[in-house]
Amino acid sequence: MRVMFALVLLCAVPDDSGASQTPIDAKDLAEYRLTTPVFTQFVEASRLIMAVTRNDAAFTYAPLFTKDVALSGDAPTMAAGLVARLENTPALAAALGTAKLTSREYAIFALVLFAAHLAHGFIDAGVLRGAPPGAPADNVAFVQAHQAEVSRLLTVLGVGD
């Protein structure tokens, strides 16, 4: 049920607010399109972030990503928590700076990628006929086109199949 809620949340059409420094809301997630250039930056940022978290005991008991967190269904809350951790841990903030991504874009990309990967899995399994038109369908198509790379990355992040 939570999985379906997360998919519905990403397909919702929320309000029109949202500057780059504002909290991430459902509209930001619903309208976001996964792209290859940002995926390349995201992979680099994730590689650097995982190098930091592997060597920091604080992340052993409270990792940035878990399957439970990725599927919790409250995407804006998850995004806010992820942004805060990325901004408040100097080594993680430095990793994002090296990859030229903001904490906000990293969090949005991560959550949209998780949802699109999940939807792709449901479509492949025959549970869903397809993603609704718009961002979800575009993002599921992105995951399909980059399936091997996405699977490897999600495994490294701890939320893979």
> Which residues does 154 contact at the CB level (< 8 Å), separation at least 6?
113, 114, 117, 160, 161
Segments making up each domain of the chain, as ranges:
34-157
**Each residue of 87-110: pLDDT tens digit?**
999 999 999 999 999 999 999 999
CA distance 74 to 77: 6
Q: Are 48 and 100 in contact (CB under 8 A)?
A: no
Q: The pTM is what?
A: 0.82
Q: What is the pLDDT of residues 29-66, one digit of tens each?
A: 989 999 999 999 999 999 999 999 988 888 888 888 87
Residue pair 15/121 in contact (Cβ under 8 Å)? The answer is: no
d(CA 80, CA 23): 7
Give the E-state strand segments of 87-136 in sequence order: none
